[in-house]
Amino acid sequence: MIAQAIIIKNQYVLMVKQYVERGDIVWNFPGGSIEQYESPEQACIREVKEQTGYDICI
């Protein structure tokens, strides 16, 4: 399972640039895998921090 965040501020949507295995570049919402010990909300907060450096709250 994965958790993703849709972050909107001042009518802008935050997206992250990612490189996929086949070498393409894609734009996606920040997020990723849910670890065994995490809730989806905790995973979302962690993934946003890892990918963007931003602290968020839900």
pLDDT single digits (tens) 16-36? 999 988 889 999 999 999 999
CB under 8 Å to 37, separation ≥6 — which residues? none
> Mean pLDDT, to the nearest integer, of 32-52?
95
In percent, the amount of the chain with pLDDT more than 70 equals 100
DSSP 1-58: -EEE---EETTEE--EEEE-TTS-EEEE-SEEEPPTT--HHHHHHHHHHHHH------
Please report, as a single letter, which amino acid is at residue 41.
E
Are the C-beta atoms of 5 and 15 separated by less than 8 Å? no
Q: What is the pLDDT of residue 12?
A: 96
Average pLDDT over residues 29-51: 95
pLDDT at 58: 78
Residue 22 is predicted with a pLDDT of: 87
